[in-house]
Chains A and B, each alone.
Chain A
Amino acid sequence: MNAALSQTPPAAVGTAIELRSVTKVFQTGTAGSVTALDEVSLAIRDNEFFTLLGPSGCGKTTLLRLIAGFEQVTRGDILLFGDDVAGLPPHKRPINTVFQHYALFPHMTVAENVAFGLRMLRRNKAEIRRTVETMLTLVKMPDLGERKSSQLSGGQQQRVALARALANHPRVLLLDEPLSALDLKLRQEMRLELKTLQRETGITFIFVTHDQEEALTMSDRIAVLQAGRIQQVGTPDAIYEHPANPFVANFMGETNLLSAVLGTVERDMIRCQLEGGAEVLARPVGTKAAGCRVTLSLRPERIVLTADPGSGLAGRITDCLYRGTDTSYRVKLERGPELQVYEQNVADHSHGMSVGDSVRALIAPGAARILVG
């Protein structure tokens, strides 16, 4: 695409970063301590857009700071392209970070900010000037090099922070909730741009966020963290479709968590009896046998409501919320719990169902997932 990007070495297929049983304990005061990360093991592939997803306080930012070198592990190893980086200070790691609040140097111009890393690496002046220009063009700010960073809007600061990090051609780029300070429209735009940038530069991106939609739309793979432990690692659709446990199912979008008792196997499906007696069909998981208590995850958009009395589970609408692209219903099953249901608004408010109506809930075989653990 351009000179700066073509300098990036061809990406070898391999592991960029490997974490082996990484544990981080913070001492709080004299007595207490907090375990921020607990035996985290993870392999992040070279050239990958990898997302660390979790609620605030789950340890995702701590993990990022360990990789960047701002914190030292309490136990475990961090390997960067096969080399142990223990004891290596941040300025000696081929890693750059885009900080949550950008951390642009207020006493420097945009161009000076972008050039900072290359200056510290003592590159020659002509090369620095060229790279700065290329980078500012890349983030669509070609004519703003002489501005002070304090004169920029939030979105522009974001782009400068990105250009400043990418200018050094790091092998790994860490992004700490870089979009959280932007407004919705800009955030959606930047998602696409970040994804494109990652594909074009071939740099491994490690992206930290608490926003599951961001994670789903941008990532090659996602690691879901909770309370310092990894809950699940996988591609966005694997995590959304096959959540490993109730936490992941609930955190990745909306879901109905239903307790059920396993029944008989019927061809490749297993009957699951909900509290109240209603039955749904799910794919059997592992060695769980008939009589076992399990938790099912049933996505609201997988349930279809119909007025036709011939099929599905009988219920009554208890709540109805128009949301633009879809309508959110709460349906109390006659022989089962209350369900959350999303119906796409295909024609203008086509369903025309309202609170109190009797409906049938159609649940396709396999729509409900049995959660392990």
Chain B
Amino acid sequence: MAERRDVVDQATWVDRFSSLPAARRSLILLSPAFALIGAFGLAPLGLILVYSFLVPGTYGGVVWELSFGAYIQFLFERDIFDGTLTFHLSYLQIGARSVILAGLAVVGCLLIGFPTAYFIATRPPGLRNVLIFLVTVPFWTNLLVRTFSMMLILRDQGPLNSILMGIGIAEKPLSLLYTDFAIGLGLLYSFLPFMVLPIYASLERIDFRLVEAAYDLYANRWRVLQRILIPLSLPGIAGGCFLVFIPSLSSFLAPDLLGGGKHLMIGNLIAQQFGTARNWPFGAAAAMILLSLVLIALMIYARQVARRERNVA
């Protein structure tokens, strides 16, 4: 008897749930996900936002006192003696060089990633999976370790310089390490898979009979690329560009190790403020500025996608 009542109770619980309105039901089912995003995504972000409007504590941390000082500090320098503000560029320069380096990383990744993705997408299906697997192999090793090994390759006595001197391109070792070139190369190497994978996903879906049709209609290889392959893989290209641009912009390992800490990117600036500089509000403000930059870029992209879709419909 008791067992039977158990079954009945269970049934009513399920019945009650399924008799709820659909919207309420999905809300209940989604609540664990919402809780997780709220606790570990939105709450820290809110905290950073709040911190950026506070005053730095002497030994790190914050003093709970409203201030716009952190944002002002980004653009102006306060004179130590009379307290007047003078416009200064050094932080803006860090922002600009971050954008430029990240942009170059995107261009480099695109130039290498598109042909790679195309090559993979045009192999037989079995081989395709193997190659895609190989693309993801670098993820198995820690980024820090990989960046250190880049340092070994690039240093004055490293293999790259030995090869360059061996084939007579360079007479004495080129100083490659601790330059913007090294940072760019590091970003390119770290984020290349993020370019290859989405472009591959786009290219793989393309009906290659369209390529034949274009050849048939007098298009040469270049025109096929320009008129058929690139337009049809544009979602993948755009996705890849964002996936490379965003982490490149906020990267701090590559500039720290490969740039020798001399050439700061905005990621290093933020890390410094929370670390050695002990200015949390300024670090938080820099993080918010970075976040705004990324959001603006995403919004421009989203608007263009929407416009394109409206044209299709």
Is there an interface contact between B218 and A120, defined as CB atoms closer than 8 Å?
yes
Nearest CB of chain B from residue A117's CB, rounded to whole Å: 4
Is there an interface contact between B210 and A91, defined as CB atoms closer than 8 Å?
no
A121 sits at the interface (CB 8 A) = yes
Is there an interface contact between B218 and A91, defined as CB atoms closer than 8 Å?
yes
Is there an interface contact between A103 and B209, defined as CB atoms closer than 8 Å?
yes
Nearest CB of chain B from residue A175's CB, rounded to whole Å: 12
Is there an interface contact between A91 and B231, defined as CB atoms closer than 8 Å?
no
Is there an interface contact between A91 and B209, defined as CB atoms closer than 8 Å?
no
Identify the stretch in A46-54, A93-101, A308-316, A348-356 within 8 Å (CB) of chain B at 4 or more residues: A93-101
Is there an interface contact between B232 and A107, defined as CB atoms closer than 8 Å?
yes
Is there an interface contact between B218 and A70, defined as CB atoms closer than 8 Å?
no
Q: Mark B205-247, 1 if CB is under 8 A from A, else 0.
A: 0010110111111111001000110011000000000000000
Point out which of A104, A120, A148 has the most chain B C-beta atoms below 10 A from its C-beta: A120
Nearest CB of chain A from residue B215's CB, rounded to whole Å: 4
Is there an interface contact between B213 and A120, defined as CB atoms closer than 8 Å?
no
Identify which of residues 36-53 in chain A touch chain B, using a CB-to-CB cut-off of 8 Å.
Answer: none
Is there an interface contact between B223 and A103, defined as CB atoms closer than 8 Å?
no
Is there an interface contact between B232 and A168, defined as CB atoms closer than 8 Å?
no
B130 sits at the interface (CB 8 A) = no
Is there an interface contact between A117 and B209, defined as CB atoms closer than 8 Å?
no
State in angstroms the CA–CA spacing of A91 and B312 once bound together.
29
Place the interface of chain B in its size category.
Answer: 10 to 19
A277 sits at the interface (CB 8 A) = no
Nearest CB of chain B from residue A85's CB, rounded to whole Å: 14
State in angstroms the CA–CA spacing of A2 and B232 once bound together.
35
Size of chain A's interface in residues, with CB distance under 8 A?
26
State in angstroms the CA–CA spacing of A70 and B207 once bound together.
16
A337 sits at the interface (CB 8 A) = no
Q: Mark A142-166, 1 if CB is under 8 A from B, else 0.
A: 0000001010000000000000110
A103-B312 in contact given A89-B215, A91-B219, A116-B217 (Cβ < 8 Å): no
How many A-B residue contacts, CB cutoff 8 Å?
A: 58
State in angstroms the CA–CA spacing of A91 and B219 once bound together.
6
Nearest CB of chain A from residue B21's CB, rounded to whole Å: 36
Nearest CB of chain A from residue B216's CB, rounded to whole Å: 5
Nearest CB of chain B from residue A212's CB, rounded to whole Å: 26
Q: In the complex, what residues of B have CB within 8 A of residue A203's CB?
A: none
Q: In the complex, what residues of B have CB within 8 A of residue A69's CB?
A: 215
A120-B223 in contact given A96-B217, A105-B228 (Cβ < 8 Å): yes
Is there an interface contact between A101 and B209, defined as CB atoms closer than 8 Å?
yes
A68 sits at the interface (CB 8 A) = yes
Identify which of residues 47-91 in chain A touch chain B, using a CB-to-CB cut-off of 8 Å.
Answer: 68-70, 89-91
Closest to B220 in A: A91
Point out which of A70, A95, A116, A150 has the most chain B C-beta atoms below 10 A from its C-beta: A116
Closest to B224 in A: A91
State in angstroms the CA–CA spacing of A106 and B231 once bound together.
10
Is there an interface contact between A168 and B231, defined as CB atoms closer than 8 Å?
no
Is there an interface contact between A105 and B216, defined as CB atoms closer than 8 Å?
no
State in angstroms the CA–CA spacing of A104 and B212 once bound together.
11
State in angstroms the CA–CA spacing of A121 and B223 once bound together.
11
Q: In the complex, what residues of B have CB within 8 A of residue A105's CB?
A: 210, 213-214, 227-228
Closest to A167 in B: B217
State in angstroms the CA–CA spacing of A70 and B232 once bound together.
22
Q: In the complex, what residues of A have CB within 8 A of residue B216's CB?
A: 68, 70, 90-91, 95-97
State in angstroms the CA–CA spacing of A92 and B213 once bound together.
13
State in angstroms the CA–CA spacing of A164 and B210 once bound together.
13
Interchain residue pairs A-B with the least CB separation, the first 5: A117-B217, A103-B213, A120-B218, A90-B215, A103-B209
Listed A/B pairs (18) with beta-carbon separation below 8 Å: A68-B216, A90-B212, A90-B216, A91-B216, A91-B220, A95-B216, A97-B216, A99-B213, A103-B210, A103-B212, A105-B214, A105-B227, A105-B228, A107-B231, A120-B218, A121-B218, A150-B312, A165-B217
Which residues of A are in contact with B by a Cβ distance under 8 Å? 68-70, 89-92, 95-97, 99, 101, 103-107, 116-117, 120-121, 148, 150, 164-165, 168
Q: A91-B218, A99-B209 are in contact. List 14 more A-B contacts (CB 8 A).
A: A89-B215, A90-B212, A91-B215, A91-B216, A96-B216, A99-B213, A105-B210, A105-B227, A106-B210, A116-B214, A120-B217, A148-B312, A165-B217, A168-B217
